[in-house]
Amino acid sequence: MQAPVVPKPRLEFLNTKPPPNYVAGLGRGATGFTTRSDIGPARAAPDLPDRSATTIGGAAAPGGIGRGRGKGGAEEEEEDEGDEKGYDENQKFDEFEGMMSGCLHRLNMMRMIRRLMLFGRPSIRGWIRGGRIGGRQEWDSIPEIGDYSLRNKKRRFESFVPVPDTLLEKARQEQEHVTALDPRSRAAGGTETPWAQTPVTDLTAVGEGRGTVLSLKLDRLSDSVSGLTVVDPKGYLTDLKSMKITSDAEISDIKKARLLLKSVTQTNPKHPPGWIAAARLEEVAGKIQAARQLYTKDGVKAISNSVKLWMQAAKLEHDDVNKSRVLRKGLEHIPDSVRLWKAVVELANEEDARLLLQRAVECCPLHVELWLALARLETYDNAKKVLNKAREKLSKEPAIWITAAKLEEANGNTAMVGKIIERGIRALQREGLAIDREAWMKEAEAAERAGSVASCQAIVHNTIGIGVEEEDRKRTWVADAEECKKRGSIETQELFMLMLLPCF
């Protein structure tokens, strides 16, 4: 049998009275409250004497009037004493209740602040002690909160007043005056307005400048003996063309740049770009003679074997005679410069060019362009001699053989054209030079455009099969013919098509 179930004993504190001032749940943060049943019934208001029973003089009303209950004086005194005692107790209870609610409120606030300090917002030391900030780099990477104090400030009304035009015009006029003359513009005929390239728009300043220049010219050109002037009225406007208006800022910049480039040329006189920059500065400033002196005198003394220096010096000259003179002077210092030889030959006539090229091939025997240019200017017999000498100096140059074939064709010896090309290919192969089929095809097209059809045919017949396998000939030659057709080389295309006939 199962043992009888013993009922659980009832907890004792449920039957006992709670201690005084006990509030349920106070330990977990609950706050107590008071209801009307705890306070008890409201006390009755004290009976006020009836004003109607009192006379104006303060005498009492007749007996029996003003007392509703009709009680005696002893009972009334006891009721008054009881009311006073109840009022005192209620007042004390209200004071005690207010004090307790304030204490509970402060206690709850302290608990809330403690939770926030422990869990919600830990201190900086807590972060460092807890390892949330590893080092100085992480500390520096924390962003700044910024300044938000100006966000709520009202913006003041800003007003802008334009500057008067007279003030701007006066400031501009103070920076303008006549500073230099442009000698490059003196060669012009005075047909161009001298003020078109300047920023001056004030006619008063223009008039003052012209008056100043006129007075200077009259003082300089007047005859001190007879008092007669020698001013040319027709050339006066042309001379005004050379007037150049610059500002103080530009003058100071030019002076600073001149000092800087002077130090560059002094510290490193063997550096050609330094001399070229200094000469260009003088050219921009309008001093062409100073620029020429920097090239031909100062620069040549420091570094005479600079081709760029001589080429820039030749560009400063206006006519071909002076340019050729400068280039020939440069060839005296640098006789093996192909660039200087080409430049001086371009400025010379046909006879002088032939003589110059004869000297050029002696100084530069390994440059094929000089040999070919000399062969074009010589007669038929002399040209063959020139090409033979060139072949001795440059045995691996295909252009010499192609030029010889064109020379024979130009003089009517078409039978020799194919033999020359064939001999040339064998000679180049003996020298160990690989025959580039694509390059020879381009030479054939160039010969066709120059009118040397026989040379074109000879080149194609002797080089069309070089480097092409037997099974690839049809495909390769068809592609070459199409490319020649696109470039407009019809004769070369027909030659390819003729070579393709045996393949079909």
| 14-43 pLDDT, tens digit each | 677 777 777 777 777 666 566 655 555 555
Domain stop point among 278, 299, 314: 314
Q: What percent of the chain has pLDDT over 90?
A: 2
Confidence bin at 211 (pLDDT 50/70/90):
confident
Q: Is a pLDDT exceeding 80 seen at residue 260?
A: yes
Residues paired with residue 176 on neighbouring β-strands, in sequence order: 247
Q: Which domain holds residue 254?
A: 178-185+243-314
pLDDT given for residue 127 in this prediction? 56
pLDDT given for residue 193 in this prediction? 47
Asked if residue 264 is part of any domain, the answer here is yes
Lowest mean pLDDT among 192-206, 247-261, 371-385: 192-206
Residue of 418, 376, 419, 370 whose CA lies nearest to 393: 370
For tokens 């010379």, the residue is 348
- Which of the two residues, 87 and 56, has the higher pLDDT score? 87
Residue of 287, 282, 276 whose CA lies nearest to 258: 282
Could you tell me if 484 and 492 are in contact, meaning their C-beta atoms sit under 8 angstroms apart? yes
Asked if residue 305 is part of any domain, the answer here is yes
Asked if residue 332 is part of any domain, the answer here is no
Stated pTM of the model: 0.48
Per-residue tokens: 201? 């728009």
Distance CA 147, CA 145 (A): 7
Residue 243: other Cβ atoms inside 10 A: 19
Average pLDDT over every residue of 225-231: 51
Distance CA 170, CA 168 (A): 5
Does 491 lie in the same domain as 402? yes
Mean residue pLDDT of the chain comes to: 74
Domain stop point among 256, 284, 314: 314
Confidence bin at 271 (pLDDT 50/70/90):
confident
Q: How many domains does the chain have?
A: 2
- Which of the two residues, 467 and 134, has the higher pLDDT score? 467
- The secondary structure of residue 232, as a DSSP letter, is -
Q: Which stretches of 201-271 are DSSP H helices? A: 203-221, 233-241, 248-267
pLDDT given for residue 321 in this prediction? 87
Does 400 lie in the same domain as 309? no
Distance CA 482, CA 485 (A): 5
Domain stop point among 291, 314, 337: 314
Does 403 lie in the same domain as 300? no
Per-residue tokens: 312? 């820039």
Kindly state the helix (H) or strand (E) to which residue 180 belongs, with its residue range: strand 176-181
Asked if residue 302 is part of any domain, the answer here is yes
pLDDT given for residue 61 in this prediction? 42
Does 494 lie in the same domain as 401? yes
Asked if residue 444 is part of any domain, the answer here is yes
Q: Is a pLDDT exceeding 70 seen at residue 313?
A: yes
Over residues 383-432, the pLDDT tens digits come to: 989 998 998 888 888 899 999 998 888 888 888 888 898 898 888 888 88
- The secondary structure of residue 58, as a DSSP letter, is S
Asked if residue 494 is part of any domain, the answer here is yes
In terms of average pLDDT, the best of 134-148, 187-201, 290-304, 375-389 is 375-389
Asked if residue 119 is part of any domain, the answer here is no
For tokens 């104006």, the residue is 56
User: Could you tell me the sign of the dihedral formed by the alpha carbons of 405, 408, 412, 414, in that order?
Assistant: negative
Confidence bin at 6 (pLDDT 50/70/90):
low
Asked if residue 433 is part of any domain, the answer here is yes
Distance CA 428, CA 398 (A): 8
- The secondary structure of residue 229, as a DSSP letter, is B
